[in-house]
Amino acid sequence: MAANVSAMAQSKEELLERRIQQLEARLKLLEGEVSKREKPRAAAARNRGAGSADQAQTAADTPQQGGSAGPQKPPGAQASTVPQEAFLARDNIPTLQSNKFEVSQSFDYGRGTSFVQNDRSFRATTSFRYGIANDVELALSLPYFSSQRRTNAFSQTIVRNVSGVGDISVQASANLWKEGDWYPGAALTAGLSIPTGDDPYDLANLRAGVIPTDPLRLTQASGHWVPRAALQFFKSTDPLILFFGVGMDYAIPKRFAGLNVEPGFRYTYNFGFGFALSERSTVGVSFNGALSERLKVGGVPVANSVSELLTARFTLIQRIGQDFWFEPAVTVGLTDDAPDVAFSLSLRKRF
């Protein structure tokens, strides 16, 4: 009897061991099936995460057979490897790839009101940019402006309309270093404003120590050669980019009607952020300021000629086609020296 019980126990143990071995074999088989299914999914995810520049290169390297083209870039895909959020500071950050070209057209309308004057101004600026390397960019801007100033002088209103070509500007910008995990990237910009517009000064009434501009006319030209430089910092954390920068320009003194006019140095700064709502839409806010030194005429400082300008700009960058952007913006003046409000509309196309 005891022998029978022992044999039955041994049989049950052997049956249990065989069952465990079968379950282990089944588990290994299931793990293999799961691994086979996950590998294609991971590869597809890596392919989707590749940049559009890599996709374009893959399409170019794929041979055509039987008249059939290789993989095509989907309509509206963005060719630039620079995040669209960086376009908010594109005046100081290179955003073009090597041998890429950009043309843009912007329209600006501004209003300003003081105690005795009302100003309206319109400005159209055509800009060209060229990427001579992935981190170096050249730019040229050609402005045209039209303005009106209405002055309430006792019982009459004096209206002056001014229009013409503004000051042409050229500049070069280059990335000094790329951003890292714990530090921002930096870009350096050097430019020059050329006095192609009309002189803004009232030459018939030019006097030492007196404001030289005509108070009845609103001009948008400086009358001076103005070299400038700026240092821009930027840090991106998808989908956000932060940027801040400082700069300086210097209006070279020039002689008018026998007197030297010296606008001096102007110190500039900016900071803000951009937020990517989607692959096509970016919104941003930037604050732009400038502090000018006291103007000198005939070597004599002009009283009350120090100015401080500060504005807040709200921008939408909307990609509406292949390398084509639509950018409306609203700028609000935050100091007395800034226009009350300005509306802007820009169109940009890359080739």
Residue 58 has pLDDT above 80, yes or no: no
Mean per-residue pLDDT, 312-328: 94
Rounded Cα gap, residues 58 and 69, in angstroms:
12
pLDDT of residue 36: 56
Q: How many CA within 13 A on the CB side of residue 168?
A: 7
Q: Which range is least confidently modeled, 78-87, 112-121, 184-193, 322-331?
A: 78-87
Q: What is the mean pLDDT of residues 83-89?
A: 76
Quick one: pLDDT at residue 254? 93
pLDDT tops 70 at residue 110: yes
Stronger pLDDT, 71 or 351, i.e. the higher one: 351
Average pLDDT over every residue of 91-114: 92
DSSP assignment string, 2-63? HHHHHHHHHHHHHHHHHHHHHHHHHHHHHHHHHHHHHHHHHHHHHHHHS-HHHHHHHHHHSP
Domain limits, the chain:
84-350
Q: Which residue has the higher pLDDT, 60 or 259?
A: 259
Residue 57 has pLDDT above 70, yes or no: no
323: left (phi over 0), alpha (psi -120 to 50) or beta: left
Q: For the domain covering 84-350, report its CATH number.
A: 2.40.128.130
pLDDT at 286 over 50: yes
pLDDT of residue 22 exceeding 80, the answer is: no
Closest C-alpha to 271, from 237, 228, 231, 317: 231
Per-residue pLDDT reduced to its tens digit, 123-182: 999 999 999 988 999 999 999 999 999 998 888 899 999 999 999 999 999 999 999 989
Full-prediction pTM beyond 0.75?
A: no
If you search the block for the tokens 């996950």, which residue do you land on?
38
State how far the Cα of 91 lies from the Cα of 277, in Å rounded to an integer.
Answer: 22
**What's the Rg (C-alpha) of the chain?**
32
**What average pLDDT score do residues 236-251 get?**
92
Model confidence at 327, pLDDT cuts 50, 70, 90, reads: very high
The tens digit of pLDDT for each residue in 290-307 reads 999 999 999 999 988 899
How does DSSP assign 117-186, residue by residue?
EEEEEEEEEEEEEEEEETTEEEEEEEEEEEEEEEEEETTEEEEEEEEEE--EEEEEEEEEE---SSS-EE
Residue with tokens 């700026």: 230
Average pLDDT, the chain: 83
**pLDDT reported for residue 16:** 65
- Token reading at 152: 């309430």
pLDDT above 60: residue 90? yes
Rounded to whole angstroms, the Cα distance separating 279 from 77 reads 9
Q: With bands split at pLDDT 50, 70 and 90, how would you rate the model's confidence at 91?
A: confident
**Measured distance between the N- and C-terminal CA atoms of the chain, rounded to whole angstroms:** 95
Q: How confident is the model at residue 49, as a pLDDT?
A: 43
Query: What's the confidence (pLDDT) of residue 156?
Result: 87
What is the CA 118 to chain-centroid distance, rounded? 31
Chain mean position to CA 231: 14
Secondary structure in 3-state letters for 175-220: EEECCCCCCCEEEEEEEEEECCCCCCECHHHCCCCCCCECCCCCCC
Q: Which two tokens stand for residue 61?
A: 């390297």
